[in-house]
Amino acid sequence: MSALWYPPFSLFLPRLPRLPPRTEAFARLVLFGLMLLVAGLPVSDALAATAHHSSHGKHRHPSAKKKRTVAKTPSKPARRKAAAARPAHQRSAHHRAKPHARREVTKPPRPAKTAGKRRSTGTPRKAVSKVSRVAGTAGAAGANKAAPAQARTTAKPRLLARCGFTPASRKRLFSRAVYIVDEKTRTPLFSLNANQVRPIASLSKLMTAVVWLDRGPAMRTPLTVTNADIDTLKFSHSRLAVGSTLSRADMLHISLMASENRAAAALSRDYPGGRAAFIAAMNAKARALNMPNTRFKNSTGLSPRNVSTARELAHLVRASNGYPLIRRYSIDHQQRVNTGKGQLQYVNTNRLVRYGKVDASVQKTGFINESGHNMVMRVMVHKRRPVIVTMLGSDTPEGSRLDGVRIAHWLSCSLR
């Protein structure tokens, strides 16, 4: 029976005499197991060694394992779906607990300062020297900043090329004689034939107003136009008819603002000593204002022998600014006067002032054929800095106006 249990191995197992068949079969089975165990040890060792070498060949860096682990983390949409799948009370608990965890990780408690590291209240010697060095540096910086500011205030004004003051732009001026001077510093900013003696036409009325106001007359006294006031030199037209009666103030007003010739003639005739005394007073005033090349033959400027220079007219404009009535009347836009025969409306002959293109405190225009179109102004640059501009000899009134616009741009851009 035992041979039936293990027929393949019966030839290799020893025979056990004096044992029952069953016991002998069991003993042979145990011996067979021992033989298998002994024979299998080398094979198991070989398999273990092979497994060990193969595991070392496929070994990777820990960072790679970490990357692979990170890559396997679920994406944001997956996490959102998972969060949406959770019950509401779990989601709220998760969101409430998350900030606390982040706060614990990102904000560790700061270590307390030890008492041993505290310094005494007295300032150390090194700190005092450092403070003094910083103060000295700050003082030097303040002095350096103050120096350029003082240099800017004391520097002479000038017209800048970036503001259009270029040779090409200066050649495009229509006036034949131009003089620009900064009144505050008396610095000439531009000069073109400034010393050339030329007829000045109705610019003479500024001197007429100065001499008339020096007398200190009663301005409300009426004054009547007569035949003696008619222009017999140029036979120019006037809106004031003979017999018209105006106050002296109105005569001066329309003489300066609208360049009314008969009004200026009436004022010179009303002067003590007559018209001759008035003309003499005008020439005396010119000498007093340091205008040696200036001559006056009448009060209206219709005579071509009323002459001056662009430079000397700047003295007259500066002097005229000292009379409040001249400042008020010369820059007024319009005035309605009662002549006793009706009312007349007058407007300013200077379109730059009349339409507010230039801010001026004193102005006057003038024209006769011999002089061309003339203009003088005391321009207030940025409403605070006075600059005197005199322009003589433009062929057209438009040319004189364009020169005024160009010069006003130079001044507003260049001066501060």
pLDDT of 107-129, one tens digit each?
555 545 444 444 444 444 544 45
Residue 319: alpha-carbon gap to chain centroid: 36
pLDDT of 104 > 70? The answer is no
> Residue 84 pLDDT > 70, yes or no?
no
* Tally of structural domains, the chain: 2
Question: Residues 128-139: what's their mean pLDDT?
Answer: 48
Query: Residues comprising the binding site?
Result: 364
pLDDT of residue 98: 46
Place of tokens 């060990």: 52
Q: Is residue 153 part of a domain?
A: no
Whether residue 179 has pLDDT greater than 90:
yes
Show the tokens assigned to 64. Answer: 């790679």
pLDDT of residue 110: 58
Q: Is residue 37 part of a domain?
A: yes
The one-letter code for the residue type at 87 is P
Q: Is 205 a catalytic residue?
A: yes
Query: What φ, ψ does residue 18 adopt, rounded to 5°?
Result: 60, 25
Residue 16 is part of which domain span?
Answer: 1-42
More confident residue, 51 or 303: 303
Whole-number percent of the chain with pLDDT over 70: 68
Give the pLDDT of residue 73: 54
Question: Does 84 reside within a domain?
Answer: no
Residue 121 lies in a domain: no
- Evaluate whether 302 touches 318 at the Cβ level (below 8 Å): no
Q: Would you give the distance in Å from CA 97 to the centre of its chain?
A: 54
Three-state secondary-structure class, residue 331: coil
What is the per-residue DSSP string for 116-147? GGPPPSSPPHHHHHHHHHHHHHHHHHHHHHHH
Q: Are residues 166 and 33 in the same domain?
A: no
* Overall average pLDDT of the 8-35 stretch: 69
Instruction: Please indicate, yes or no, whether the overall pTM of this predicted structure exceeds 0.75.
Output: no
Complete DSSP assignment for 224-284:
E--GGGS-SSS----SS-TT-EEEHHHHHHHHHHS--HHHHHHHHHTSTTHHHHHHHHHHH
Could you list the beta-strand ranges (E) of 126-210.
177-182, 187-192, 198-199
The catalytic position among 2, 175, 204, 205 is: 205
- CA within 13 Å, CB half, 254: 25
Q: Give every CB contact of residue 185 below 8 A, 6+ residues apart in sequence.
A: 156, 157
Q: What share of the chain is helix, strand, coil (3-state, %, to 5)?
A: 50, 15, 35
Q: Which of 27-31, 96-100, 155-159, 380-384 has the highest mean pLDDT?
A: 380-384
Give pLDDT tens digits for 266-275. 999 999 999 9
Shared domain check, 179 and 325: yes
Query: Does 100 score more than 50 pLDDT?
Result: no
**DSSP annotation of 14:** P
DSSP letters spanning 284-306: HHHHHTT-TT-B-S-SSS-STT-
Q: Does residue 360 form part of some domain?
A: yes
Q: Give me the percent of the chain exceeding a pLDDT of 90.
A: 62
Q: What is the pLDDT of residues 52-80, one digit of tens each?
A: 555 554 445 545 444 444 445 555 555 66
Q: What is the pLDDT of residue 28?
A: 78
Alpha-carbon distance of 332 to 348, in angstroms, equals 7
Residues annotated within a binding site for substrate: 364
Contact predicate 335/369, CB 8 Å: no
In the chain, the largest separation of any two C-alpha atoms, in whole Å, equals: 186
Residue 102 resides in a domain: no
Phi, psi of 363 (to 5 degrees): -155, 160
Cα distance between residue 41 and residue 39, in whole Å: 6
Catalytic residue among 2, 202, 204, 255: 202
In a domain, 196, yes or no: yes
Structural domain contains residue 115: no
Per-residue pLDDT at 95 exceeds 60: no
CATH number reported for the structural domain that contains residue 217 in this entry: 3.40.710.10
HSE toward the beta carbon, residue 145, CA cutoff 13 A: 6
Q: Which of 2, 204, 244, 259 is catalytic?
A: 259
Cα torsion 15, 20, 21, 24: sign:
negative
Running DSSP on this structure, what letter comes out for residue 221? S
Radius of gyration of the chain, Cα coordinates, nearest whole angstrom: 56
